[in-house]
Amino acid sequence: MSLLVVGSVALDDVETPYGARRSELGGSAVYFSFAAACFGPVRLVGVVGSDFPAEYLERLARRPIDLAGLQRAQGRTFRWHGAYEGRMEQARTLAVSLNVLGGFTPRVPPAYANSSYVFLANASPGTHVQVLDQVAGARFVLADTMNYYIENERDAVLGLLPRLDGLILNDVEALQLTEQPNLLAAARWVCERGPSCCIIKKGEHGSLLRGPDGVFVLPGFPHEAVVDPTGAGDAFAGGMMGYMASRDEVTPDTLKRGLAYGTITASFAIEQFGPAGLESLTGEGVEQRLADFLRLTHLSAP
Ligand code: AMP
């Protein structure tokens, strides 16, 4: 399996109704990698500053996450400060300090250039283009984007679409990017601009896929114990891409099953602060919860 992710590696300050954490291990590439690592090895391309704790590198290295593409730059690590209130549907970003991510030029190690599956996790569209130029032979490239880049670099985000196989984003971002009246129209709008599939995440309400053979929807995994939703979207993408890369197949069926695996890995991410809920997760744990999920949605024949 050759799965590569490029994205942020962060120190997060997070507040939820269940408590607060300071300088927690975070970042889009981190959540993605922990989730995908349940299915096989992951290659991470990103950057940290000189303040990044060695203990966090050890946590990543404990899983099959290859850090040869993680640059260590002089300066401070990217920092995000977010808060969730009430039903915790949407993070309120209180502060973003790009720090070393601001001057980041991704370098894909030569041994990674043959990666078949590539996830462009939240990072600037300029970073995404630089990675695409280095993985020309990839079989399936999925990109994420978010309000920060839609607001600040919308044209660059749109310019990426023809080079992607898939775009994944949440419901609010999908409407913001496409300016369409509903999610089905938004997914169609995206697919008319290049990607063969578009995945829209709807938080606790599940997800929607528009793919080569039409539309597919899944509910979320019903969860009473949501402690910290940070990274749910990246953990979703990690489960989905990890599964597809492990099967090494891009078909309507693996896309739909990928959606189910993403639902399951995201449900583990939100059970604890930071990525802890994913770090101890095994393939067996994923399969058990998937079986529960399928039971919850199965209707026997009349
Ligand atoms: P998610 O909750 O899946 O959207 O991802 C949350 C993670 O995204 C956090 O760990 C943050 O460190 C990271 N993040 C937040 N803002 C940005 C940004 N502008 N660029 C890259 N990563 C970000």
Decide if 179 contacts 187 (C-beta within 8 A).
Answer: no
**Which helix (H) or strand (E) is 237 found in, with range?**
helix 232-247
- Supply 170's token pair: 């949440």
Provide Rg for the chain, Cα atoms. 18
- Look up tokens 């995440």; give the residue: 201
**Are the C-beta atoms of 273 and 13 separated by less than 8 Å?**
no
Kind and range of the H or E element at 158? helix 154-160
220 lines ligand 1 (CB under 6 A): no
All structural domains of the chain: 3-144+229-295 (3.40.1190.20)
What is the H or E stretch that residue 132 is in?
helix 125-132
- pLDDT of amino acid 86: 86
What is the C-alpha separation between 187 and 195, in angstroms, rounded? 10
Q: Name the phi and psi angles at 184, rounded to 5.
A: -65, -45
For ligand 1, atom 14: residue with the closest CA: 27
Tens-level pLDDT at each residue, the chain (302 residues): 799 999 999 999 999 999 999 999 999 999 999 999 999 999 999 999 999 999 999 999 999 999 999 999 999 999 999 999 988 888 999 999 999 999 999 999 999 999 999 999 988 899 999 999 999 999 999 999 999 899 999 999 999 999 999 999 999 999 999 999 999 999 999 999 999 999 999 999 999 999 989 999 999 999 888 999 999 999 999 999 999 999 999 999 999 999 999 999 999 999 999 999 999 999 999 999 999 999 998 888 88
**Could you give the 3-state DSSP secondary structure of residue 289?**
helix
pTM: 0.96
Residue 57 pLDDT: 98
User: How is 179-201 classified by DSSP, letter by letter?
Assistant: --SSHHHHHHHHHTTS-SEEEEE
Query: Is residue 119 exposed (0-12), middle (13-18) or buried (19+ Cβ within 10 Å)?
Result: buried
Ligand 1 contact, 127 CB (< 6 A): no
**Which of 15, 33, 146 for a ligand 1 pocket mutation test, highest count of atoms within 8 Å of Cβ?**
146
3 state DSSP class of 135: coil
